[in-house]
Amino acid sequence: MLKLFFKYWLPVLLYAILIFSISSIPGPELPQNLILSDYLLHILEYLPFGFLMFRAIRNTRSNFTLRKIFISSAILVILYAASDELHQLFIPGRYASLLDLLCDGIGAAIGARIAI
């Protein structure tokens, strides 16, 4: 069991810590001409998270169908992304955005799909 944790869940945990750490850095809003780039960055940030989450669930929950693994992965990563957006409300120069959350979810879904 511990071997499964280190192989599959530890990367998920470490990636979540990385996202939290990056989100904790105070900073100004991006210039308006970088809006599309900001959304692309959110997709790219959460794509590996979706991949890692799918991989962890797939290899530790043998009774789950691929569909259930995909949905579970997406929901867990989106819930984390929502908590990250709320966390940013308390960081100077950062803000929460539903569009950022949507892009996070898209990235998570793409990552989980790649893992299939």
| pTM higher than 0.95 | no
- pLDDT, tens digit (0-9, with 9 covering 90-100), for 28-75: 765 666 666 888 999 999 999 999 999 999 999 989 999 999 999 999
Whether residue 85 contacts residue 96, with contact meaning beta carbons closer than 8 Å, is answered with yes
Which tokens is 3 given?
């071997």
Sign of the Cα pseudo-torsion (64, 67, 68, 70, in order) = positive
Q: What tens digit of pLDDT does each residue of 79-107 get?
A: 999 999 999 999 998 889 999 999 999 99
For residues 2 and 73, which has the higher predicted lDDT (pLDDT)? 73
Task: Tell me the two tokens of residue 25.
Answer: 């850095």
Q: What is the CA radius of gyration of the chain?
A: 15
